[in-house]
Amino acid sequence: MMALLWIYDLLFPLALLLAAPWWLMRMLTTQRYREGFLERLGRVPARFRAGVEQQPTLWVHAVSVGETLAAIQLIRQLEAARPAMRIVLSTTTRTGQQLARQRLGADRVFYCPLDVAWATHAWLEALQPRMLVLMETEFWPGLLRRCFRRKIPVVVVNARISDRSWPRYRRLRRLWKPLLERLQAVLAQSELDAKRLEELGCRQVVAAGNLKYDIQIEKHSALTLQLQTLAAGKRWVVAGSTLEGEEAMLLTAWKQQIAVHADLVLLLAPRHPERFAAVADLLKASGLRWRRRSTLGSEALHAGEVILLDSIGELASAYSLATVAFVGGSLVAAGGHNPLEAAWHGVPVMMGSHTENFRTIVHELQNQQAICILHSNNAEALGVTLQTMLNDAIATLAMGARARQVLERHSGTTAKCVATLCALLNDPPQEEA
């Protein structure tokens, strides 16, 4: 195993070097790849080095928005339980980074280093963490190996193995086992995830539940209050976390709805900020009345108008406006996004059939008749289903109420994770094998 890790440490930087021209081009053309570049390469800002000797540090790592939201809730409860501990958060994506900075402040949020020796060493040397907490399945061999060398316990919370990644993990399970069997604890989202993780070699695995049921959302944000005023007397459809190909179907279905209903407005929220311009071009070509959230102004909204939500961190509260919510990533083969943000507000949710990323959550909602899954992933099915839901206010309200009940019934996972982490923090780290 050691030989394989040495090979990995040699090949991964080589792969980065070969890909350097592509990365350079992306950095020159998009902010997404330029931001945080030096931090990813191992440059540690001075604020993370200060006070390390006096205050123990816990390092939490999340990837993007969904994991970051769950991580923030976990961090806040950990801070209440361990007020003397400094907790820092790293993310991989720009959207996750911006959300984390908004909620926690920029002084303890950074971009996760690339999995190369010099970068991970620099951050571990600077932070000297008492523990590394990974959200979901962010298994990076180099980082894990260097943590084990330093006798830093590694815990995985909200762990899952998706249907798409499971075959790949299973084929390589002999390579993963020597690393994964040394994890201090693994708190899985479901029994199926726990079984898969055990098969990969994880030892201390518990099906603790899904942290995403414990989300806490600001219902009356500045945006929702503004939109309520601008759209007085109108009903909202909120389409969140949409991906390429979905907006076109949504706008086709939207034109059908506004021909029947004279009191509708649409909030359209693309998943990725780098697509805001492309979706704006699509709206320009649609012939629909629309405007950006960033240039909203004070003019009242017209019936049928579309608001492009070109901001980060406001979608979760914006779902509270919805008469019906559509959650994206589900009409195309991307696995779907989180329906619980809308369910938290008691809003009825519709999705396409691609929901693998939230399989357990969606199944539970379906079992309670608390979500509507389209039978076909096209504009026609989307329009028919949306019209049915808009026409039957009593049924859709009842669906939203049931969704909220499901969320409340499964809450409490964050408290379980906090209790486990606090117990482990009192234990001495494992000796290196």
pLDDT of residue 22: 55
**Average pLDDT for 134-149:** 92
Domain boundaries, the chain: 34-42+57-210+412-425, 222-409
Q: Quick check: 396 and 385 in contact, CB under 8 A?
A: no
The token pair that represents 192 in the structure block: 């199926």
pLDDT of residue 219: 80
**Average pLDDT for 343-357:** 96
Q: Quick check: 97 and 35 in contact, CB under 8 A?
A: yes
The pLDDT tens digits for 313-328 are: 899 999 999 999 999 9
- Contacts by 98-105, CB closer than 8 A, 24 or more apart: 98/312, 98/313, 99/65, 99/68, 99/69, 99/72, 99/312, 99/313, 100/62, 100/68, 100/71, 100/72, 102/312, 102/313, 103/72, 103/313, 104/72, 104/75
pLDDT of residue 224: 96
The token pair that represents 51 in the structure block: 């006070």
The pLDDT tens digits for 381-398 are: 999 999 999 999 999 999
Please give the backbone phi and psi of residue 80, each rounded to the nearest 5 degrees, phi first: -65, -35
Q: Quick check: 84 and 56 in contact, CB under 8 A?
A: yes
**Average pLDDT for 257-269:** 96
The pLDDT tens digits for 16-65 are: 566 556 556 655 556 665 678 899 999 999 999 877 777 899 999 999 88
- Burial label for 124, CB within 10 Å (0-12, 13-18, 19+), is buried
Q: Tell me how far CA of residue 382 lies from CA of 76, 261, 334, 411, in angstroms.
A: 39, 16, 17, 31
User: Is 314 a residue of the active site?
Assistant: no
Domain over 222-409 is classified CATH 3.30.230.10:
no
Taken as a whole, the chain contains a residue count of 433
The residue that leads in pLDDT, 274 or 14, is: 274
**Average pLDDT for 187-208:** 95
Give the helix ranges, DSSP H, for 287-353. 315-318, 340-343
Distance CA 255, CA 112 (A): 43
Grade residue 164 by pLDDT with cuts at 50, 70 and 90.
confident
Catalytic residue among 67, 138, 305, 364: 67
* Domain pair 34-42+57-210+412-425 / 222-409, same fold: yes
Q: Quick check: 205 and 184 in contact, CB under 8 A?
A: no
The residue that leads in pLDDT, 65 or 147, is: 147
Residue 148: in which H helix or E strand, if any? helix 141-149
Distance CA 245, CA 249 (A): 7
Distance CA 223, CA 402 (A): 26
pLDDT of residue 96: 92
The pLDDT tens digits for 49-105 are: 877 777 899 999 999 888 999 999 999 999 999 999 999 999 999 889 999 999 999
266 DSSP β-pair partners? 237, 306
Grade residue 137 by pLDDT with cuts at 50, 70 and 90.
confident
Q: Quick check: 292 and 308 in contact, CB under 8 A?
A: yes
Query: At what angle are helices 2-18 and 20-29 packed, to 10 degrees?
Result: 50
Q: Quick check: 243 and 322 in contact, CB under 8 A?
A: no
Q: Please work out, in degrees rounded to the nearest 5, the angle formed at the alpha carbon of residue 341 by the alpha carbons of 335 and 343.
A: 100
Number of Cβ atoms within 10 Å of the Cβ of 107: 12
* Half-sphere CA count of 360, side-chain side, radius 13 A: 20
pLDDT of residue 216: 86
Q: Of 33-37, 59-63, 248-252, 352-356, which gets the smallest average pLDDT?
A: 33-37
Q: Is 205 helix (H, G, I), strand (E, B) or coil?
A: strand
188 DSSP β-pair partners? 159, 207
**Average pLDDT for 177-205:** 95
Q: Of 40-44, 168-172, 215-219, 392-396, which gets the smallest average pLDDT?
A: 215-219
Q: Which CATH architecture has domain 34-42+57-210+412-425?
A: 3-Layer(aba) Sandwich (3.40)
Q: Is 131 helix (H, G, I), strand (E, B) or coil?
A: strand
Distance CA 34, CA 1 (A): 35
pLDDT of residue 433: 37
Say yes or no to pLDDT of 117 above 60. Answer: yes
Distance CA 164, CA 290 (A): 37
Q: For residue 326, give the amino acid letter.
A: F
Number of H helices and E strands in the chain, helices first, is: 21, 14
* DSSP 8-state code for residue 30: -
Q: Quick check: 265 and 289 in contact, CB under 8 A?
A: no
